[in-house]
Structure 1
Amino acid sequence: MPSGFFALLDDISALVKASAASLDDVPAQVAKTTGKVSGIVIDDTAVTPKYVVGLDPSRELSIIFQIAKKSLINKLLILTPAALVLGYFAPWAITPILMMGGAYLCFEGYEKVHSMFSKHPEAQAESEEIEAITPEELEQKRVAGAVRTDIILSAEIMAIAYSQVTDQPIVNQILVMLAVAVVITVGVYGFVGLIVKMDDIGVHLAQGEYSATIQKFGRGIVTFMPHFLLILSYVGTAAMLWVGAEIIAHGIPFTAHLLHELEQALANVPAVAWLAKALACGIGGLILGFIIEKIVGLVKKAVPSNK
């Protein structure tokens, strides 16, 4: 009996040691997984600042916080459990869901590109401003729109995160996905908060109480930020097309093989290989977005409106 008891203790000790060794891998897995979703993170970071444009500057950080809080809740309480449940009961569903999300990103990206080159942007802006709305209603509308976009991007992030840990113990899967949710949400919305307040920081530094050099630096920030936000919007659109198309390509054996062959052909120059793959995916995403937009247009015409 005593020998059996000590044997049980030995087994428990071995199990604890194995679990501890496994948990030591979590930080590395989080870092690896975060790198895999970098394109979507760029997209999320680039898209969000537009939701506070034109609103009361004193409300900017509050709005960003509202979006970040809902994003984190969605990741922790909805998307992570959903990914784990699907991964356990229906792992075959992960790839199609990823591809549908990728198609949505291509569609959104194409619409953004189309709007950039539209012949009548002023008329579109005027039609959007006809509706009378209070500042509070506008804020709620912006937050709701941001959360809708974020949940698509967050779903992609968590699905990709899960795909990187499918061979890990369930405890590791949960810890990695929760850590990724927190790290990415804090990182993205912390950086977004900094971006939207940079002009205020520049104005503050440009005041007379600082030295001439600091004042000049502050004025430079104020001058540069509109250009930076414009560049960021272009980067976000490009990332949306690139990421969406790459997700779809990896879900189709033929296109996944083509991407792999492209990378292998340029393996000696990694930067060129990455750029070539991103460019190929960007163009493919633009074409796919165009096709989806036309299909959506035909469906809207075929389905009678309730108005």
Structure 2
Amino acid sequence: MKPSAFAYHRPGTVDEAVATLAGVGDDGKVLAGGQSLVPMLNMRLAAPAHLVDVNRVDGLDEVRVVDDGAGASVRVGAAARHTDVEHDAEVAAVLPLLRQALEHVAHPTIRNRGTTVGSLVHADPAAELNAVLALLGGSVTLRSTTGSRVVNASELVTGPMQTCLRPDELATEAAFPVPQGHTGTAWTEVSRRAGDYAVCGVGVLVTVDDELRVRSARAAYVSMGPVPEVLDLTEPVAGIAAGGARPDEWAAAGRLATARLEPDDDIHATAAYRGHLAGVLTARAARAAAERAVARAGDTTGAST
């Protein structure tokens, strides 16, 4: 199939882009990587009258690590490709979770064109990056002709493929905070085939104290509900020796996840199977994250692992 007719706009600056969006209103869609939007256009699941292409907007393709005094964060511009983030050595050094998750996003060909910010505002319940942003307590900057605002991850996604963006707003940048202290991360998921959307995916962040015992643990999930699910796993694992914990100690975190998550049945998996996967993957990822936190404790670079 072919998309329905639309007017094509190619602004050169953010001001031009937001002015165009303000002018076209509900009839406009932003085109960045296009790896989700273009198939939807071709299948006529989306039929905007105007496409606003931001690929040539100055400054939107930047990927940088910023420390504003309150803590470091990875800032990703709206036109930056997944592969730009995945293979950035500085980003991988300070926030490995981004690379850990991005390795599971579709295929390299898709990551070469798809954009991280575009994935965030597409808000697919199976998208890894929304869960990463939620787990880290990150945010997205939105611009319009009336100014800019910063939206926290917890407020960004309002439902499956729904966000709080207004039609006249452009998401210009995402900020992924770098965890502090002796912190390790891990991402794991199960899909029917390599590159498919996950049946269940989980990212875990574990922080240990100076005695290498678990101080806190959190996890975020994809394909387990209409929006990213974030759980505090600290209670069942607090105080255990992160480097030498028994498998049954980590299994307690998995049981907590299974008890609290409420996935639905669909054509890919039953709710019971998804719940089982959540438990197994949570324990596995928590153990890996804790081991990396222990390694981080001996690292003086200030990066998480």
TM-score range for the pair, normalised by the shorter chain length? under 0.3
Higher helix share: 1
Q: Which of the pair has more CA radius of gyration?
A: 1
- Compute the TM-score of the two structures, normalised by the length of structure 2: 0.25
Higher strand share: 2
